[in-house]
Structure 1
Amino acid sequence: MKRRVAIGFIGTSLDTGRTEERWNKWRPTVALCQQDDLFIDRLELLVDHHAMTLADRVTADIEQVSPATEVRRHLISIKDPWDFAEVYSRLRDFANGYAFDPEREDYLVNITTGTHVAQICWFLLTEARDIPGRLLQLSPPKRGDAQPGMIGTHSIIDLEISRYDAIATRFAAERIEATSFLKSGIPTRNPAFNRMIDEIEKVAIRSRAPVLLTGPTGAGKSQLARRIYDLKKAQRQFAGAFVEVNCATLRGDQAMSTLFGHVRGAFTGAQADRAGLMKAADGGMLFLDEVGELGLDEQAMCLRAIEEKRFLPLGSDRDQASDFQLIAGTNRDLGAEVRRGRFREDLLVRLDLWTFALPPLRDRREDIEPNLDYELARFSEREGRKATFNAEARARFLAFAVAPDASWRGNFRDLSASVTRMATLAPNGRIDEATVRDEIARLSRTWVGADGDAAGRSMVEEVLGSAAAELDLFDRVQLDAVIEVCRRHRTLSAAGRELFGVSREKKSSGNDATACGNTSPASTSRLRICRRFPRRTGADSGLGRRRQDGGGPGRREDPRASPP
């Protein structure tokens, strides 16, 4: 059996008494050792140096009523017993220095004596398991009680919530309600998605760190970000607004001004101060959708705003403060963007604490049916009229929707648009088989056309047209990669630095046009292919640009030349 150990302050008011009359008074520390069904093996008595005489008397009285109880005194000096910081620090030091042995001893923390501040500190330390025990509250005998010795009663309070079935059941229900809220009330069936939402719910409630949501366009990143905000606001974690911005729409000074604001005169047309979206999100949440589209300068300022909660408006020399939680969304591989030099690694590290990848709809086919019902309900709420399927039409649409060849390229946007079309065209609000048949044909044409374009037409064919047929397959594959790189960069020099990255490190001279002395097979192959690339003139080429170095009118810079 475990030894029972009680811990508590001596009661400088409640435990007093010098004469024999003290035995007719309820003294909680003495009464603690007189409880019939609560034998105390050891009492750890916390005493201020002003109360040493009182401690001697109480110790002697305990020895008289309970000789087997060992009393240990701990001198704790507290200047102001109503100063929370001081009291908590002293008790925390006591707990850290005490050799707890919960395997052999059962600890009870007496919250009857001491100030209300001390009681709060005992509660916090016990709840945090700094003290591995339970709380003990003593009560005096009721008036008229014939109990001898003024012993009173006691109550033990266990802060382990899981021990209380009613509370545990309530917390479980609240967690289910929170995860359902994040899913917009949709009873999703995909196990992996449900596990992810469970984790997001925990992070949303417990953390204000940045969150990164990845996934294809239409996977629901924006809607999930909004639901996270609504959940936290319902729990009074936010007082500010939800601010959303699509970073793909921001360019140049507009990006800086939109995000960080500007002062009057910062640039042409800046006729008044502008606070910016980061300031608007103060006390709330900022959702940066398509964060991979931000320029490197904007990324650097975002990093500072996340870490320091401060930023510099455009044209200003005075910082602005804004305390917000950031959620970022992207359909790009930001790790690959870092390797290409288009995304800051330090910003990715800051965003990557909590990363959640939202799967495309084609990977959640079991969730199509509940989302179909959700979209019908949304249509009814939005349009003010109800639309439903008949049984045959619903079965036919679901069979098509979950089939392997249903690509759902636009993910949930495709599904939402499909439901909207069928509900709008449904005769008398009843979606029949004819309506479903027409919608299936429409979706099939859209997907086949998009898939066919992507699979059947290469980038070389887009640029050269029929002339691409004159190139070998080997050349077309490599030139596809070259064009893809060129399209990602604003200048040919930038594209060249990526294409000839290895060769540039081995340059033998600044004007080395043959990959700077590099005669590797890969380099030689690239040059040979570039020489065979047909030179195009006019607007149909799309690869060259006029030189700005005095090369003469009409002359074009060869996109295949080695970069400077």
Structure 2
Amino acid sequence: MSKRCVVIGLLGVQLDQPRRARDRWAAWRPSVAICQQDDLVVDRFELLVDRRYTKLADQVVVDIQTVSPETDIRIHWIELQDPWDFQEVYTSLHQFTRDYTFDTDSEDYLIHITTGTHVAQICLFLLTESRYLPGRLIQTSPPAGRGRSLPMEAAAVQGTYQIIDLDLARYDELAKRFHQEQDEARSILKRGIATKDADFNRLIDRIERVTLSTTAPILLTGPTGAGKTQLAKRVYELKHNRRQIVGPLVEVNCATIRGEQAMSTLFGHTKGAFTGAVGVRKGLLKSADSGMLFLDEIGELGLDEQAMLLRAIEDKHFTPVGSDVGVRSDFQLIAGSNRDLVAEVQAGRFREDLLARINLWSFRLPGLAERRSDIDPNLDFELQQWSRQSGHQVTISREARSAFLDFAMADSTPWKANFRDLNAAVIRMGTLADGGRITLAVVGEEIGRLRDSWQGLATDADDDSTENDLANVLGTERAASLDRFDQVQLVEVIRVCRRSRTMSEAGRLLFAQSRQAKAKPNDADRLRKYLGRFGLSWDDVNVTK
């Protein structure tokens, strides 16, 4: 047995109103027309009517009965002081859904969204989408090519209709498109790198959501070289692509500006404001109007600049140096810092009120050593970047790649300058790659260079002497008996072993040059024999005595 068809709709105080008092059939009227369709039998029409329009409602009821005698029409009175007040309209329609008894087992409900104000139509959509109205939407339209005011016969089919089913299962393509846009946004923030670190990916998801939802200041913290500047550029790119920002990205490292220069650079100056001010300068804050301002190392600003910046963020006004007239600029601020700004506040070097203002959304970017699982995809990214910049395709052999990743992902590899170290390493290896192919020998040389650079940056507490290294392994007396040459060589072997996960990995790095001449190099065996000369084993050099 088929279900009864029930239409729920608002009386259209404009569209359902006859244009000609003496000939109400001279125009298309949606509430009447929906009951005239040859292939749609309306068993019942639940007509929602504002009490101010009882006369019009009576006329529409008569006309529906004329064209569709089988349709039962029920009037539901609603009270609307302002049909454009969203809260009032939604409350009234929601109350109707609560009072009405739906029988979905035997009745099929169509929610008519052609009549009523746009606010009412939106409310009907929301109530249907949320299943307060357990039905489908129906939209009616006048006949194609015919104006609403042209004469028509009462018995003629009046226009067309379309039923819209809000079952989300039928909108997989829309859902896929939405998820695709989300993936594209994340890809922009990650520079297209397929990062693997779960914590970092969750961080990017949160930044993407905040970026597209607010214009409030964002604070990016983390060690130097963690990628704050690149991320700020990606945030701007994402907002600009979504047309949320129309102005430019203006960026400055606050560590490069000091004193009066900082004031002038940020806020601008008038002609003659100070010695050397030969012209007007609008400043970076004004240049960022309608755009984004990225202040890297914001902790380097002086207290005076911080005070003016706070006013500019809160009031969107500031006063250029030497001027009595305020300037307006509306920008979104992204601040970067490798300092602990809370500690800076406690030390009196950073304003507490400014920190409170820029710390609404704060994200700490981890260093490379905290994201070792992302070194692999970032290596590919840096190689692609270098190939584009140099104009030459650069690849890395499988063996060389394995050796570099073994070194790069070892817990003992510090990556002190984070992604700047990785970028510099790839540039050096790409430059030295004969024929555009990075070999194991090139990787070995680069690993040595990185270790030397980090050793030069190490603190005295971290920089154990050769004697101490050997004494821990051989004992003080035996270490002192070795020639200086053997001491220096052995201590380097010990350090490579401690930074490697396996003996084979350490051997590949230590014998990177000579192993090229061997058809079947056995790096682990060579290292084992070398250590054996001093009575040492792999376990001996990997455990501090």
1:109-258 counterparts in 2 under 5 A?
110-113=112-115, 118-119=117-118, 121-122=119-120, 125=123, 135-140=137-142, 150=157, 153-157=160-164, 164-258=171-265
Residue 392 (structure 1) aligned to one of 399, 410, 426: 399
Residue 451 (structure 2) aligned to one of 440, 444, 450: 444
CA 1:292 to 1:21, structure 2 compared with 1: closer, same or farther past 3 Å? Answer: same
1:205-354 counterparts in 2 under 5 A?
205-354=212-361
Cα contact 1:33–1:69 (8 A) shared by 2? no
1:424 aligns with 2:431: yes
Partner Cα separation in structure 1 for residue 331 and residue 212 of structure 2: 15
Which deviations, in whole Å up to 9, do the C-alpha atoms of 1:362-390 show, x marking residues without a partner?
11111101111111111111111121111
How far off its partner does 1:171 sit?
A: 1.4
How far off its partner does 1:52 sit?
A: 4.8
Which deviations, in whole Å up to 9, do the C-alpha atoms of 1:485-506 show, x marking residues without a partner?
xxxxxxxxxxxxxxxxxxxxxx
Partner Cα separation in structure 2 for residue 321 and residue 185 of structure 1: 36
Q: Which residue of 2 aligns with 1:29?
A: 31
CA 1:163 to 1:291, structure 2 compared with 1: closer, same or farther past 3 Å? Answer: farther
Partner Cα separation in structure 2 for residue 112 and residue 101 of structure 1: 18
Partner Cα separation in structure 1 for residue 81 and residue 310 of structure 2: 45
Partner Cα separation in structure 2 for residue 160 and residue 68 of structure 1: 28
Q: Which residue of 2 aligns with 1:540?
A: none
How far off its partner does 1:111 sit?
A: 4.0
Residue identity over aligned pairs, in percent, reads 49
CA 1:32 to 1:379, structure 2 compared with 1: closer, same or farther past 3 Å? Answer: same
1:470-549 counterparts in 2 under 5 A?
none
Question: 252-261 or 141-150, which moves further after superposition?
Answer: 141-150
Q: Which residue of 1 aligns with 2:12?
A: 10
Which deviations, in whole Å up to 9, do the C-alpha atoms of 1:130-173 show, x marking residues without a partner?
99567531135679999956465432446787751111111111
Question: 281-290 or 329-338, which moves further after superposition?
Answer: 329-338
Q: Which residue of 1 aligns with 2:46?
A: 42
Q: Which runs of 5+ in 1 are unaligned?
A: 79-86, 458-564
One-letter amino acid of the structure 1 residue matched with residue 312 of structure 2: A
SS in 2 for 1:269: coil
1:56 aligns with 2:51: no
Residue 71 (structure 1) aligned to one of 39, 55, 75: 75
One-letter amino acid of the structure 2 residue matched with residue 408 of structure 1: W
CA 1:215 to 1:161, structure 2 compared with 1: closer, same or farther past 3 Å? Answer: farther
Partner Cα separation in structure 1 for residue 461 and residue 282 of structure 2: 43
Question: 14-23 or 391-400, which moves further after superposition?
Answer: 14-23
CA 1:386 to 1:303, structure 2 compared with 1: closer, same or farther past 3 Å? Answer: same
How far off its partner does 1:453 sit?
A: 3.4
One-letter amino acid of the structure 1 residue matched with residue 189 of structure 2: L
Partner Cα separation in structure 2 for residue 208 and residue 174 of structure 1: 20
Partner Cα separation in structure 2 for residue 2 and residue 407 of structure 1: 73
SS in 2 for 1:286: strand
One-letter amino acid of the structure 1 residue matched with residue 283 of structure 2: G
1:93 aligns with 2:88: yes
CA 1:413 to 1:70, structure 2 compared with 1: closer, same or farther past 3 Å? Answer: same
CA 1:70 to 1:245, structure 2 compared with 1: closer, same or farther past 3 Å? Answer: same
Cα contact 2:18–2:25 (8 A) shared by 1? no
Cα contact 2:285–2:293 (8 A) shared by 1? yes
Question: 344-353 or 399-408, which moves further after superposition?
Answer: 344-353
SS in 1 for 2:458: helix
Cα contact 1:24–1:150 (8 A) shared by 2? no
How far off its partner does 1:112 sit?
A: 2.6
Partner Cα separation in structure 2 for residue 159 and residue 316 of structure 1: 59
CA 1:410 to 1:390, structure 2 compared with 1: closer, same or farther past 3 Å? Answer: same
How far off its partner does 1:360 sit?
A: 0.6
Residue 416 (structure 2) aligned to one of 409, 420, 431: 409
Question: 102-111 or 413-422, which moves further after superposition?
Answer: 102-111
How far off its partner does 1:266 sit?
A: 2.0
Equivalent pairs, count:
442
Cα contact 1:95–1:131 (8 A) shared by 2? no
Q: Which residue of 2 aligns with 1:356?
A: 363
Which deviations, in whole Å up to 9, do the C-alpha atoms of 1:444-478 show, x marking residues without a partner?
12223323436469xxxxxxxxxxxxxxxxxxxxx
How far off its partner does 1:179 sit?
A: 0.8
One-letter amino acid of the structure 2 residue matched with residue 324 of structure 1: F
TM (norm. structure 2) is 0.72
SS in 1 for 2:232: helix
Partner Cα separation in structure 1 for residue 403 and residue 375 of structure 2: 13
Cα contact 1:311–1:319 (8 A) shared by 2? yes
Cα contact 2:195–2:377 (8 A) shared by 1? yes
CA 1:407 to 1:162, structure 2 compared with 1: closer, same or farther past 3 Å? Answer: farther
Partner Cα separation in structure 2 for residue 275 and residue 125 of structure 1: 48
Q: Which residue of 1 aligns with 2:499?
A: none
Question: 409-418 or 252-261, which moves further after superposition?
Answer: 252-261
Question: 426-435 or 219-228, which moves further after superposition?
Answer: 426-435
Q: Which residue of 2 aligns with 1:467?
A: none
One-letter amino acid of the structure 2 residue matched with residue 93 of structure 1: E
CA 1:420 to 1:166, structure 2 compared with 1: closer, same or farther past 3 Å? Answer: same
CA 1:353 to 1:158, structure 2 compared with 1: closer, same or farther past 3 Å? Answer: farther
CA 1:319 to 1:150, structure 2 compared with 1: closer, same or farther past 3 Å? Answer: same
Cα contact 2:15–2:29 (8 A) shared by 1? no
Cα contact 1:26–1:150 (8 A) shared by 2? no
How far off its partner does 1:336 sit?
A: 2.2
Question: 414-423 or 233-242, which moves further after superposition?
Answer: 233-242
One-letter amino acid of the structure 2 residue matched with residue 205 of structure 1: L
Which deviations, in whole Å up to 9, do the C-alpha atoms of 1:36-80 show, x marking residues without a partner?
466556322347x5x5532331244457746643213446577xx
Partner Cα separation in structure 1 for residue 228 and residue 251 of structure 2: 12
Question: 24-33 or 313-322, which moves further after superposition?
Answer: 24-33
Partner Cα separation in structure 2 for residue 323 and residue 59 of structure 1: 56
Partner Cα separation in structure 2 for residue 2 and residue 415 of structure 1: 70
Question: 196-205 or 253-262, which moves further after superposition?
Answer: 196-205
Q: Which runs of 5+ in 2 are unaligned?
A: 147-151, 465-545
RMSD, aligned α-carbons: 3.5
Partner Cα separation in structure 2 for residue 404 and residue 285 of structure 1: 38
One-letter amino acid of the structure 2 residue matched with residue 261 of structure 1: G
How far off its partner does 1:354 sit?
A: 1.6
How far off its partner does 1:407 sit?
A: 0.6
Partner Cα separation in structure 1 for residue 327 and residue 4 of structure 2: 59
One-letter amino acid of the structure 2 residue matched with residue 70 of structure 1: R
Q: Which residue of 1 aligns with 2:388?
A: 381
One-letter amino acid of the structure 1 residue matched with residue 406 of structure 2: A
Question: 300-309 or 407-416, which moves further after superposition?
Answer: 300-309
CA 1:77 to 1:452, structure 2 compared with 1: closer, same or farther past 3 Å? Answer: closer
Which deviations, in whole Å up to 9, do the C-alpha atoms of 1:260-287 show, x marking residues without a partner?
1111222222222210000000111100
SS in 2 for 1:206: coil
TM (norm. structure 1) is 0.70
Which deviations, in whole Å up to 9, do the C-alpha atoms of 1:331-353 show, x marking residues without a partner?
11222222222222222222122
